[in-house]
């Protein structure tokens, strides 16, 4: 039915490839492309023989001309970008030049600045609309499913949503003293940055890890969680009616925080280049090279994740509280696709969003965040493809 180009060959890409092959009625052909073709070939070898036809290619996602050449050669209907966030704009440029639909899981970040926001990608809206192609931004879990959850809550249970708390809990244990569950460079940049939340029409900035809460997560238990800045706060603040406050919390264990503070204190989390033996190196990129590869954690990670959203608002003049969440088991994910749950919870929604676009359910010219589409078919697909959700109207609220 459809041909998709998947750019990237890391842990999330591996999940996307597996799930596309499971959904072969939609994804009849896929091409896996990255800078390291051997990684693409390994994914192909693991999944060849099914109904989905798989090819591979080498491409530098920082090079627009190379991307254009590959897209023109393969002629996909859609590019699924699961490369690095630094590469979002070059891939969007290539999609514009070839009039190809686009989807990613995380917003653009400049490589030399620890800052991420949607403004760079939202600037493409008019150009994508004029080209007659669709760009879907942030279609992982958070951002991604959290936006779909919000649209679903707004559509079915609220006249106005006043408060949203997004809670991301990883209750898994990989056994290492220190490792990150997704790209170390992106992960450490994210958690060491200043926090912020949106309240009454303005951003309130906090120091890194300044605000801490404890929450009793269903099927995981009590965990410490910390307020971070996260990109979906920005889009939900614009797209959900009645919003007065949005916050994002993520859980961290004490061992992780202690190691991170030590690394910060000795300069290993810096993105400023330093001179070393006659060469310029970025400390954080060197640290990434010595830490365990997140794609290797699946076999040894046990426990569960719980990611969801708590809403407070009104319906027919009455206050409503609503909590919708997914619980994902690390070992069950590994048995299915050879990945831990962090990659799984990002890769499955990317496949679903791509299928929504390719089947016409989420397809209109322009650049959009996921909460701007009809949430119902996506919510149904979550139950079908491995991320079933649960809901309650009596949640424990976060103070």
pLDDT score, position 258:
80
Q: What is the DSSP string of 310-335?
A: EEEEEETTEEEEEEEEEEEEHHHHHH
To the nearest 10 degrees (0 to 180), the angle between helices 341-358 and 330-337 is 60
**Per residue in 192-227, pLDDT tens?**
788 999 999 899 999 988 999 999 999 999 999 999
**Per residue in 12-46, pLDDT tens?**
999 999 999 999 999 999 999 999 999 999 999 99
**Per residue in 300-318, pLDDT tens?**
889 999 999 999 999 999 9
pLDDT score, position 263:
84
- Can you tell me whether residue 29 is helix, strand or coil? strand
What's the half-sphere exposure (Cβ side, CA atoms, 13 Å) at 121? 33
For residue 367, pLDDT over 80 is answered with yes
Identify whether 127 is preceded by a cis peptide bond (ω within 30 of 0).
no
- Mean pLDDT throughout 308-335? 97
Element (H, E) at 124: none
pTM above 0.85, yes or no: yes
In this predicted model, which residue has the larger pLDDT, 326 or 1? Answer: 326
Q: How far apart are CA 380 and CA 322, in angstroms?
A: 19
In this predicted model, which residue has the larger pLDDT, 285 or 149? Answer: 149
**pLDDT band, very low/low/confident/very high, at 114 (cuts 50, 70, 90):** low
Q: CA 180 → CA 176, 252, 287, 359, distances in Å?
A: 10, 11, 11, 35
Ramachandran assignment for 279, one of left (phi > 0), alpha (psi -120 to 50 degrees), beta (any other):
beta
pLDDT score, position 180:
78
Q: What is the DSSP string of 157-171?
A: T-SEEEEEEEEEEE-
Q: How far apart are CA 146 and CA 124, in angstroms?
A: 23
For residue 342, pLDDT over 70 is answered with yes
Instruction: Provide the pairing of β-strand 2-7 with 27-34.
Output: parallel
pLDDT score, position 80:
98
Give the distance from CA 263 to its chain's centroid. 25
For residue 319, pLDDT over 90 is answered with yes
Instruction: Provide the pairing of β-strand 195-199 with 202-206.
Output: antiparallel
In this predicted model, which residue has the larger pLDDT, 65 or 178? Answer: 65
The tokens of 371 are what? Answer: 């909460």
- Mean pLDDT throughout 275-279? 86
- Mean pLDDT throughout 135-160? 98
Q: How far apart are CA 269 and CA 108, in angstroms?
A: 20
- Can you tell me whether residue 30 is helix, strand or coil? strand
Q: CA 256 → CA 181, 268, 365, distances in Å?
A: 11, 15, 43
Q: How far apart are CA 10 and CA 99, in angstroms?
A: 26
Distance between start and end Cα atoms, the chain: 49
């Amino acid at each position: 039915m459809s041909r998709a180009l998947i750019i990237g060959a890391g842990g999330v890409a591996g999940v996307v490839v597996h799930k596309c092959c499971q959904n072969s009625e939609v994804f009849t052909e896929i091409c896996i492309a990255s800078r390291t073709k051997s990684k693409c070939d390994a994914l192909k070898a693991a999944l060849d023989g099914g109904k989905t036809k798989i090819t591979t290619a080498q491409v530098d996602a920082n090079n627009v001309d190379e991307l254009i050449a590959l897209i023109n050669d393969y002629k996909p209907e859609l590019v699924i970008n699961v490369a690095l966030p630094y590469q979002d704009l070059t891939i969007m440029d290539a999609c514009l030049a070839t009039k190809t639909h686009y989807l990613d899981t995380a917003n653009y970040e400049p490589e030399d600045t620890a800052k991420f926001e949607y403004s760079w990608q939202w600037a493409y809206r008019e150009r994508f609309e004029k080209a007659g192609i669709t760009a879907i931004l942030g279609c992982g879990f958070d951002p991604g499913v959290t936006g779909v959850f919000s649209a679903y809550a707004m559509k079915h249970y609220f006249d106005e949503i006043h408060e949203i708390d997004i809670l991301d809990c990883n209750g898994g244990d990989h056994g290492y003293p220190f490792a990150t569950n997704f790209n170390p460079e992106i992960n450490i940049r994210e958690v060491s940055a200043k926090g912020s939340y949106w309240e009454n029409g303005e951003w309130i900035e906090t120091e890194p890890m300044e605000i801490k809460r404890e929450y009793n997560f269903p099927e995981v238990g009590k965990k410490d969680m910390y307020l971070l800045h996260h990109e979906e706060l920005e889009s939900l603040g614009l797209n959900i009616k009645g919003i007065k406050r949005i916050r994002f919390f993520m859980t961290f264990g004490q061992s992780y925080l202690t190691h991170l503070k030590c690394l910060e204190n000795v300069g290993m989390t810096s993105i400023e280049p330093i001179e070393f033996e006659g060469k310029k190196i970025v400390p954080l990129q060197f640290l990434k090279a010595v830490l365990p590869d997140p794609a290797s954690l699946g076999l040894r990670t046990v426990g569960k994740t719980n990611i969801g959203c708590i809403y407070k608002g009104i319906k027919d003049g009455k206050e409503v509280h609503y909590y919708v969440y997914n619980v994902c088991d690390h070992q069950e994910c590994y048995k299915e696709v050879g990945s831990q749950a962090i990659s799984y919870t990002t890769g499955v929604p990317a496949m679903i969003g791509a299928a929504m676009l390719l089947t016409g359910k989420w397809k209109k010219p322009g650049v959009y965040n996921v909460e701007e589409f009809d949430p119902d078919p996506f919510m149904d697909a979550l139950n079908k493809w491995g991320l079933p959700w649960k809901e309650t109207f009596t949640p424990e609220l976060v103070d």
